Amino acid sequence: MDLRIKSFEEYKAKYAQSVEKPEQFWDEIANSFNWVKKYDKVLDWEFETPKVEWFSGGKLNITENCLDRHLAKRGNKLALIWEPNDPKERFVRWTYRELYEKVCQFANALKSQNVKKGDRVIIYMPMIPELKVAVLACARIGAVHSVVFAGFSASAMADRIEDAKAKVVITSDGLNRGTKQIPLKRIVDEALESCSSVETVIVYDCLSWLPNMKPGRDVWWHDVIKDVALECPAEPMDAEDMLFILYTSGSTGKPKGVVHTCAGYMVYAAYSFQNVFQVEESDIYWCTADIGWITGHTYIVYGPLLSGATSLMFEGVPTYPDPGRFWQICDKHSVNIFYTAPTAIRALMACGDDHVLSYSLDSLKVLGTVGEPINEEAWQWYHLHVGKRNCPIVDTWWQTETGGIMISGLGAHSPMHPTHAGYPLPGIQPALLNQEGKEILENEEEGYLCIKFPWPSMIRTTYGDHERCKNVYFSHYDGYYFTGDGAKRDKDGMYRIIGRVDDVINVSGHRFGTAEIEDAMNTNPMVVESAVVGYPHDIKGQGIYAYVICNEMPTDPDFARGSIIETVVEQIGKIAKPEKIQFVSGLPKTRSGKIMRRILRKVAEGEADKLGDTSTLLDPDIVDEIVSGAI
Ligand code: WTA
């Protein structure tokens, strides 16, 4: 049960063992879980197809490992503390037994709505305890959950519903986020106008808004949980049965459904959670992410529960009612482990030190960051003002596709170097590749970050399109999983993540493909063509800079910008709003018609003097126009 490594020496020994005898290494860890039927084989793999199977032949249910197995010893321990958006509202605390009963009850409700093993269920909900219940209830009965972040638009949700061919949507009337309220059910209704697979919508009453309920399709959460039992046997799942789909953006096309399966994901979620955060039995752990992202899946829902930990969940935003909210919550609930994103740290840092200095924060022991590279200044601020120089910071590098943290410190047990994620976790074998696809073996070198051996929680496929999984992740370099990130290894072998090397922009820790944003903009009737790049942004890490060709140069550019932004918000959501829009008469293209984004990136970064060779362009003059009109 306690999977923790307790010193750097032990880490080194375990790491070596995990590389020499990976199967034995993972077998020992997997053995500590509850299996309905023990697996026959630890690992079967090849990266060509790719085909990766962990613990095959095994049968299990992840919720039995999250809930049932804790009841004897931890039935009365808090599983969840929920802090509402409004600090004046009452917070919620549920023990493991209470959570278990609520999950079983809702699982029975899903069954009563004809949800079966393998059915896909879209969850589009606020950060309320019922979101956790909905996720676990799906897993309990073997339905595949796909949580859609409640900031995505109707159109983005419709794409996901269609791709997953979802049968059920679970939502609420609306949600609270800071001073704003968002009508979730209305957005679902709009999305469903174009989706035929959905038979049932279950609506949780969050704001007493009385939304329209479509007869025969829409049912209330409080009605479906009436008269069902508080016990629900867990569906025995094959190790490689799908657990969930989570959509994420890549450099091309629409977001793809990253598929994670039951056993491997379970083992790695628990192992990485316990080791990275070094969680003790009595600790209160808080991850500020939203369950709509992978961080929320692995480190709000599954990792903590698999480990019997107490995890805090927050409905609101860091700046409401004031920029001291995070720290107020840490003091109020005596939070010991705090995990957040660099963008949140930078945003709070910009609001001044007073907000953080008025709280003691003396319960904190370990701090974490995730989502993007953390800059030195934000790291130092976090270390000094939040950690009071007493807390290690774990800079955790990982991805939706990796399922769990791959490179990171392990609590206080690892050497810490600001802006460096550090060493790989046991079982993780990173490699840096050069332009030619050859592995770089030396330190103090930079290259494309790949992984050369499977780990239990790795992506298995992209839903409905295995070829895409192969092309995106396994075809760049034979025999390697390609992350899309660049990294540098320092003289001690520590990794520093540099950022994406593909056409993915990371805005406040959220991934967007340039093509995805361009496609959205191009649906605006004024827009003929567009090209999007990322540029450095003080708070968001990267901002979105769009170059747009309109049918004619807009006479009222502000109006045109407003209209294009509105289109992006409609197509994707507010989180994908372009920060800067420059109207241009053409784009720098090669003779073969390919947009030279390198040039656009340099201009957006304010480095127009470093454009390099532009002689291969079809129309080199366009560059001068773009440079002189840069925003
Ligand atoms: C970036 C989030 C630097 C990286 C868990 C990766 C990071 C992408 C870090 C995945 C970090 C995440 N340092 N960069 N500690 N963590 N990234 O799928 O570019 O939302 O490829 O998963 O975020 O984003 P995703």
CB-side exposure of 314: number of CA atoms within 13 Å? 25
Nearest CA to ligand 1 atom 13: 373
Q: What's the domain range around 592?
A: 508-628
Number of domains within the chain: 1
Residue 139's nearest CA partner among 315, 261, 222, 37 is 261
Q: At residue 466, what are phi and psi to the nearest 5 degrees? A: -65, -30
Mean pLDDT for 244-250 is 95
Return d(Cα 124, Cα 157) in angstroms, integer. 9
Q: Tell me: pLDDT of 138 over 90.
A: yes
For residue 121, give the nearest of 112, 110, 132, 129 by alpha carbon. Answer: 110
Closest C-alpha to ligand 1, atom 1: 372
Does residue 340 line the site of ligand 1, with CB under 6 A? no
Confidence of residue 594 (pLDDT cuts 50, 70, 90): confident
Q: Is the CB of 502 under 6 A from ligand 1?
A: no
Angle at 92 between CA 228 and CA 219, to 5 degrees: 35
For residue 500 and ligand 1, the question of a CB distance below 6 A is answered with yes
Integer Cα distance of 417 and 408 in angstroms:
11
For the Cβ of 370 lying below 6 angstroms from any atom of ligand 1, the answer is: yes
CA 231/CA 341 separation, integer angstroms: 37
Residue 551 lies in a domain: yes
Q: Is the CB of 482 under 6 A from ligand 1?
A: no
Nearest alpha carbon, ligand 1 atom 23? 371
626: CB partners within 8 A, 6+ apart: 547, 582, 584, 588, 599, 600, 603
Q: Is residue 37 part of a domain?
A: no
Alpha-carbon 423 to chain mean position:
21
Identity of the residue numbered 133? V
Residue 593: inside a domain, yes or no?
Answer: yes
Q: Decide if 217 is inside a domain.
A: no
pLDDT band of residue 593 (cuts 50, 70, 90) is: confident
Q: Does the beta carbon of 189 lie inside 6 Å of ligand 1?
A: no
Q: Is the pLDDT of residue 613 over 90?
A: no
Mean pLDDT over 561-573 rounds to 97
pLDDT of residue 441: 97
**How much is the mean pLDDT over the chain?**
97
Give mean pLDDT, residues 389-401: 98
Structure tokens, 332: 């109020």
pLDDT band (50, 70, 90) for residue 614: confident
Point out the ligand 1 atom lying closest to the alpha carbon of residue 405. Answer: 5
Per the CB < 8 A criterion, the answer to whether 71 and 31 are in contact is no
Query: Which of 248, 251, 511, 540 most suits a substitution to test ligand 1, by most atoms within 8 Å of the C-beta?
Result: 511
Q: Residue 399 pLDDT > 90, yes or no?
A: yes
- The pLDDT score that the predictor gives to residue 250 is 84
What the block records as the tokens of 215 is: 């007869």
pLDDT above 90 (res 251): no
Q: If we measure between CA atoms, which residue out of 513, 562, 549, 565 comes closest to residue 534?
A: 513
Mutate to test the pocket of ligand 1, among 249, 340, 497 (most ligand atoms within 8 A of CB): 497
User: φ and ψ at 617, to 5 degrees?
Assistant: -75, 150
584 is a domain residue:
yes
Question: What share of the chain has pLDDT > 70, as a percent?
Answer: 100
User: Where is 294: in which H helix or E strand?
Assistant: helix 294-296
Q: Contact, 571 vs 620, CB < 8 A?
A: no
Q: How far is the CA of 508 from the centre of ligand 1 (A)?
A: 11
Strands of 168-269, DSSP E: 168-172, 175-177, 180-182, 200-204, 218-220, 237-238, 242-248, 256-261
For residue 449, pLDDT over 90 is answered with: yes
If one counts every other C-beta atom within 10 angstroms of the C-beta of residue 300, the result is 28
The CA distances from residue 467 to 460, 470, 471, 475, in Å, are 12, 5, 6, 10
Region 97-111: what's the mean pLDDT?
98
Kindly report, residue by residue over 273-332, the tens digit of the pLDDT. Answer: 999 999 999 999 999 999 999 999 999 999 999 999 999 999 999 999 999 999 999 999
Query: How do 41-46 and 481-489 pair as beta strands?
Result: unpaired
Number of H helices, E strands in the chain: 21, 31
The CATH number for 604's domain is 3.30.300.30
CB of 207 closer than 6 A to ligand 1? Answer: no
Cα separations in angstroms, 63 against 4, 40, 142, 520, 544: 21, 22, 10, 38, 39
Instruction: Give the integer Cα–Cα distance in Å for 542 and 549.
Output: 23
Residue 226 has what DSSP assignment?
T
Q: Which of 173, 241, 239 has the alpha carbon at shortest distance from 203?
A: 173
- Shortest-distance Cα residue to atom 4 of ligand 1: 372
Given this model, what pLDDT does residue 474 score?
98
Count Cβ atoms within 10 A of the Cβ of residue 186 and give its class: 0-12 exposed, 13-18 middle, 19 or more buried. middle
Query: pLDDT-derived band of residue 252, with 50, 70 and 90 as boundaries?
Result: confident
Q: Per residue in 273-288, pLDDT tens?
A: 999 999 999 999 999 9
| In a domain? residue 607 | yes
The pLDDT assigned to 619 comes to: 86
Ligand 1 center to 243 CA (angstroms)? 22
* Span from the CA of 447 to the centroid of ligand 1 (angstroms): 16
Any atom of ligand 1 within 6 Å of the Cβ of 485: yes
Let me know if residue 527 belongs to a domain: yes
Q: Does residue 630 sit in helix, strand or coil?
A: coil
**Atom of ligand 1 at shortest distance to CA of 483?**
21
Q: Mean pLDDT throughout 154-167?
A: 97
Task: Report the separation in Å between the CA atom of 451 and the middle of ligand 1, taken as the mean of its atom positions.
Answer: 15
Asked if the structure places residue 176 within a domain, the reply is no
Residue percentage of the chain with pLDDT more than 90: 96
Rg over CA atoms, the chain: 24
The predicted pLDDT at position 169 comes to: 98
In terms of pLDDT, which residue wins out, 349 or 621?
349
The rounded Å distance from CA 355 to ligand 1 centre is: 28
* 505 in contact with ligand 1, CB cutoff 6 A: no
Per-residue confidence band for 616, with pLDDT thresholds at 50, 70 and 90: confident
Q: Identify the residue whose C-alpha is closest to ligand 1 atom 7.
A: 372
Q: How confident is the model at residue 116 (pLDDT cuts 50, 70, 90)?
A: very high
* Residues in contact with 399: Cβ distance below 8 Å, sequence separation at least 6, in sequence order: 294, 406, 483, 484
